[in-house]
Amino acid sequence: MESNQVINANCWVAYFDILGFKNRIHDFNKQFGYGHLDTFVKIDYHDILNEAKNRVEQHKELLDKIEYTWFSDSFLFYIPVDDNGYSFSVFQSLAWQFLRGCIWKRIPLAGAMSAGEFYANKKENVFIGPALIDAVEYSEKQNWIGLVITPTGFKELQKFELNPLNVFEFREYGVPVKIKVKNDKDETVIKESIERLIVFKMNKHHKVENRIREMHQKADKEAKIKYENTLKSIDNK
């Protein structure tokens, strides 16, 4: 499949956000001043770009229909759903290896995998569809570092009688998520809640845990809760 081919199909979609990316930019500008973002790209941003490119190239050897794109701190991977579940097998491997590789480079991510209708035209830079909306929603609501399969994505897996809890490195867990609620003054506020989802088993990778503990020590007060929630999930094996 050519990288610029238009896709208009039922697809697996994985969406990732870099946590604290805005602060990385602000901290860099404070240190180096105006006009040096090219240096930021070379010393920081290239790490995650290379991780994405390398993972896709590796997995294209198994299934060449995998594609990806990015914008600022958001990374998107996608592949058409096949009729036997093999595409998910390859896709989930790419997703968690991308997460793990970025964490090893001290780049914290929150990501979500979903499935559904999706349109992609890389040449025109157009990416739309319910699968993307679902993946973005679940990526952004997580209040930790991790990777989840959305309920919609899990329903797609059930069509193949494929249970990621039995076959792949996933488990069910109460994920800390941010939700909007009304307070006593009828104002909309953000509150943390728990949603049980299928998540990647971070606790199986000790090097990942060590990196998260390192990043937790250096995190600002606002971000520490995300690391603490992540470490809690690792301890809760």
125-173 pLDDT, tens digit each: 999 999 999 999 999 999 999 999 999 999 999 888 888 888 788 999 9
CATH class of 7-169: alpha beta
Q: What does the pLDDT read at residue 109? A: 95
Task: Check residue 1 and give its pLDDT.
Answer: 42
State how far the Cα of 107 lies from the Cα of 22, in Å rounded to an integer.
13
- Mean pLDDT, the chain, rounded, equals 90
Q: Collapse the DSSP code of 4 into the 3-class scheme (helix H, G, I; strand E, B; otherwise coil) and give the result.
A: coil
Domain boundaries, the chain: 7-169
Give the whole-number percent of the chain exceeding pLDDT 90. 61
pLDDT of 54 higher than 70: yes
> So what's the pLDDT on residue 40?
81
- Mean pLDDT throughout 98-122? 95
Q: Which residues contact 171 (CB under 8 A, 6 or more apart)?
A: 165, 198, 199, 201
Q: Which pLDDT value is given to residue 4?
A: 60
Q: How confident is the model at residue 82 (pLDDT cuts 50, 70, 90)?
A: very high
Confidence check: pLDDT of 104 > 80: yes
Amino acid residing at 222? E
The predicted-structure confidence for 10-45, as pLDDT tens digits, reads as follows 999 999 999 888 877 877 788 777 887 888 888 778
Pairing verdict, β 188-200 and 146-149:
antiparallel
End-to-end, the C-alpha distance of the chain in Å comes to 40
Whether the per-residue pLDDT at 228 is higher than 60: the answer is yes
Say which amino acid occupies 169: E
Phi, psi of 123 (to 5 degrees): -65, -40
Contact 118, 9 (CB under 8 A): yes
**Nearest in space to 117 (alpha carbons), one of 103, 105, 127:** 127
The residue ranking higher by pLDDT, 236 or 234, is 234
Q: What is the mean pLDDT of residues 212-216?
A: 94
**pLDDT higher than 60, residue 2:** no
How far, CA to CA in Å, does 212 sit from each of 33, 104, 159, 200? Answer: 29, 9, 35, 15
